[in-house]
Amino acid sequence: MNEQPILAVEDLQTYFFTNAGVVKAVDGISFELHKGETLGIVGESGSGKSMTAWSILRLVPEPAGRIVGGRILYQGENLLEKSQAEMQEIRGNGICMVMQDPLTSLNPVFNIGNQIIECLRMDSTPSGQSLSERAIELLAKVHIPAPRDRIAAFPHQMSGGMRQRVVGAIAISRSPNLLIADEPTTSLDATIQLQYLRLLKEIQEQTGAGIIFITHDFGIVARMCDRVAVMYAGKIVEQADVEQLFDNPAHPYTEALLQSVPNLDIDVDLLPSIEGQPPTLDDLPEGCAFAPRCAYAFDKCSEYPPEFSVEPGHGARCWRHHVNN
Amino acid sequence: MSTTDSMESSTELVRLEGVKKYFPVTKGLVIQHTVGMVKAMDGISFAIPEGQTYSIVGESGCGKTTTSRIVLMAEPPTEGQVYFQGRPMERFSAAEQRAFRASVQAVFQDPWSSLNPRMRVGSIISEPLTTHQRLTKQEMKAQVNELLEVVGLHPFHAQRYPHEFSGGQRQRIAIARALSTRPKLIVLDEPVSALDVSIRAQILNLLKELQQTYSLSYLLIAHNLATVRYMSHEIGVMYLGKIVEEARPDELFTNPLHPYTKALISASLPAHPRQQREEIVLAGEVPSPLNPPSGCAFHTRCPFVMDHCSKEIPEYREVEQGHRVACHLYTDRGVLSPASTTL
């Protein structure tokens, strides 16, 4: 833990300035990611998890959206002070992203070989090996059968699982230190999802890259991640090692969410469910955003809780842990 | 209560017998000729008892949705029979058909596209009523209000438009619309997979509660096995147009027999980081239904494949009470006994 983290996000704030007012999509979040580590960012739609990823890549849709505060330290350097040209060098080279839908992230009019080579060409030091040979090698690395024949295929000729592998090949083409995967398996079938998750682990073992996994699925967190950050209404409400979080969820939202997911291995009569709806960000309650749906809410919750330490490496923003401290 | 034994004697509402549905694949712009058949359903038989949930699981392209369309009578089968309350659908009179349309409803995956954005919620819910019943304005309004309350919304919501609601609330509106004609069967096509995680349990519990209150039958199409286990009385596992295994949920998940079922269960994600599942990684992807493999369609990806799997279609047979499977491992010719294949 003493070595410098690959990525340290400190008090990041990404706001959207709309006619209806300021929407705090990401509202003061902090986390760290080390080499070879996998961090899961879990949350529902609108919790700010994807916007966190866009912020790290400096791809927040401007001018409506702006990063208004905080620091993003990538290998010790603050990305928020970089020019767009410098960012372009970092994106793809150091930080890569795998998006949710491979059909929209691949260009339909170029064959996949061209799309991989396009990335390889940006590398300033091409080795003696020809670019297409390296593209074939990459396709083999992501377990695409018969890569030599596949290199001329177009995205529409491939299945969803294959396309996502091609996106994976592009992402690792320049050996990134940090891979951000935004729900990369939601459009895949279960058996294909398992293949893909194993592939990501394999890539991580080979390259030692840090991975940020953005997901709404606690199953993926349990299968893939070392650490977890749970987001709710733009804030990280709980952060812990993965086993700590599943053994001892400290925030009522995490606890309720874990209980409300059906379990494959046991029969239950009635699942405990969370009442109410996730809040909309332009109309947040004062204080803790989860309080209106929380079974434990009390007077103190009208004030926003700071992060309390529950155990070493495990923090939660909930007043219930104030009493214990 | 896994609601199994008590309803063993209950009557069947829907029965499919050897249903096949083939879609022709054509080529040519002006003169079209058929170049092949997609066998979306290739001899499907199952029954949905009254007041129970029958679930179909399988990967995309296995024919789940076609099966639901056949049950909804949105599509005639190429071959085979579908019975509703003991009567073959094929021979429905016009009046019977009208009655059938009222007693079978559907709730779809995406509540953003299944509700008309230009209609008020009240009209959305009462639209099936205007088709199927003659009611005065007052009666209609009373019915809509009642339905809104049944699904956990408020009567004042009737005046609003769909965009004013969140995903979970929209799905409640879709359920209210489905309930409006007092159906006996509701087809649920991935009813919660488009919803936020914290909302899913609410909707599943609502569906369970409604099933008990109105003794509804459900045909549930889903890919999440945990959801299916929670909701079902019986589960059919589909692969390339065929049901390869069928059993009650506790039996299916504790004693899966077909290698594909085993692989599906092993591919589902753990509930806890310390939970280790034996992961059976299937080679490749689902083959094209246009040209399915010979013999057992699963033999190209099966870890237990034997010589005759590619030649003979395995018989679909009952190996234990209420547990049917189509796999050569469990026929007389099978080399391995079921016990030795336990993973």
Does residue A145 fall inside a structural domain? Answer: no
In a domain, A217, yes or no: yes
Contact A278 B196 (CB under 8 A): yes
Q: CB–CB of B230 and A222 under 8 A?
A: no
What tokens does B232 get?
């079902």
Contacts of B138 (CB under 8 A, 6+ apart): none
For residues A52 and B17, give the distance between their C-alpha atoms in angstroms, rounded to a whole number.
Answer: 52
How distant is the Cα of A161 from the closest Cα of chain B, in angstroms? Answer: 8
Confidence (pLDDT) at A2:
59
d(CA B21, CA B70): 9
Q: Which of B230, B231, B300 to mutate to test the interface with A (most CBs of A within 10 A)?
A: B230
Domain of residue A187: give its range.
7-94+174-324
CATH number assigned to the domain comprising residue A79? 3.40.50.300
The helix or strand, by DSSP H or E, that contains position B219, with its residue range, turns out to be strand B217-221
> Residue B264: closest CA among chain A residues belongs to which residue?
A191
Which residue is closest to B207 within chain A, CA to CA? A270
CA angle B293, B294, B297 (to 5 degrees): 55
Number of helices and strands in chain A (H, E) = 12, 12
How, if at all, do strands B104-107 and B242-247 pair? unpaired
Structural domain contains residue A108: no
Distance spanning both ends of chain A, measured CA to CA: 25
Is residue A1 included in any domain, yes or no? no
Domains and CATH numbers, chain B: 12-270+278-337 (3.40.50.300)
Looking at chain A, the whole-number percentage of residues with pLDDT higher than 90 is: 50
Confidence of residue A127 (pLDDT cuts 50, 70, 90): low
| Residue pLDDT, tens place only, B209-233 | 999 999 999 999 988 899 999 999 9
Q: Which residue of B has its CA nearest to A196?
A: B281
What is the C-alpha to C-alpha distance for residues A151 and B140, in angstroms, rounded to an integer? Answer: 61
Report whether pLDDT(A11) > 60.
yes
pLDDT in tens, B312-340: 999 999 998 999 999 999 875 444 444 44
The sign one gets for the Cα dihedral A61, A62, A63, A65 is positive
A54, part of any domain = yes
Q: Give the model confidence (pLDDT) of A28-47 as tens digits.
A: 999 999 999 999 999 988 89
Q: Which position has the token pair 């398996």?
A: A185
When divided into structural domains, chain A yields a total of: 1
Residues A311 and A244: beta-carbon distance below 8 Å = yes
pLDDT digits (tens, 9 = 90+) for A117-126: 888 887 656 6
- CB A264 to CB B226 under 8 A? yes
Give pLDDT tens digits for A47-89. 999 999 999 999 998 889 999 999 999 999 999 999 999 998 8
In the three-class reduction of DSSP (H, G, I as helix; E, B as strand; rest coil), residue B149 is classed as helix
Residue A265 pLDDT: 84
Label residue B193 by pLDDT band (50, 70, 90): confident
Sign of the CA dihedral with B164 first, then B169, B173, and B174 last: positive
Is the model's pLDDT at A303 over the cut of 60? yes
Task: Write down how long chain A is.
Answer: 325
Between B140 and B134, the more confident residue is: B140
pLDDT the model gives residue A324: 52
The amino acid at residue B253 is F
| pLDDT of residue B3 exceeding 80 | no
What pLDDT sits at residue A128? 55
Does residue A142 sit within a domain?
no
pLDDT band at A98 (very low <50, low <70, confident <90, very high): confident
Place of tokens 């549905």: B21
Find which of A149-153, A313-317, B37-41 is predicted with most confidence, using mean pLDDT. Answer: A313-317
Predicted confidence at residue B6, as pLDDT, reads 43
Closest by Cβ to B201, choosing from A145, A222, A260: A260
Q: How confident is the model at residue A231 (pLDDT cuts 50, 70, 90)?
A: very high
Contacts of B134 (CB under 8 A, 6+ apart): none
Is residue A292 in some structural domain? Answer: yes
| Partner residue facing B271 (CB), from A222, A253, A269 | A222
Q: Which residue of B has its CA nearest to A193?
A: B267
Q: Is the dihedral of CA B196, B199, B201, B203 positive or negative?
A: negative
Please judge whether B273 and A243 are an interchain contact, meaning their C-beta atoms are less than 8 angstroms apart.
yes
Determine whether the interchain pair B267/A268 forms a contact, defined as Cβ–Cβ distance below 8 Å: no
Q: Share the mean pLDDT of chain B.
A: 89
| A121 domain residue, yes or no | no
In the block, tokens 């020809």 appear at A130
The predicted pLDDT at position A35 comes to: 92
Q: Which of B233, B180, B178, B236 is nearest to B203 (CA)?
A: B178
∠ Cα B8 B14 B19 (to 5°): 120
Of A189, A221, A263, the CB nearest to B60: A189
Q: Do A198 and B279 touch (CB under 8 A)?
A: yes
| Contact criterion met (CB below 8 Å) for B224 and B193 | yes
pLDDT for the residue numbered B10: 65
Q: What is the ipTM of this complex?
A: 0.83
Q: Do B229 and A194 touch (CB under 8 A)?
A: no
| Run of H or E residues at A316 | strand A314-316
Q: Which of B198, B227, B235, B250 to mutate to test the interface with A (most CBs of A within 10 A)?
A: B198
Q: For B264, which of A190, A223, A242 is closest by C-beta distance?
A: A190
State which residue of chain A sits closest to B166, comparing Cα positions: A277
pTM assigned to the model? 0.87
Q: Which residue's entry shows tokens 């009442």? A: A275
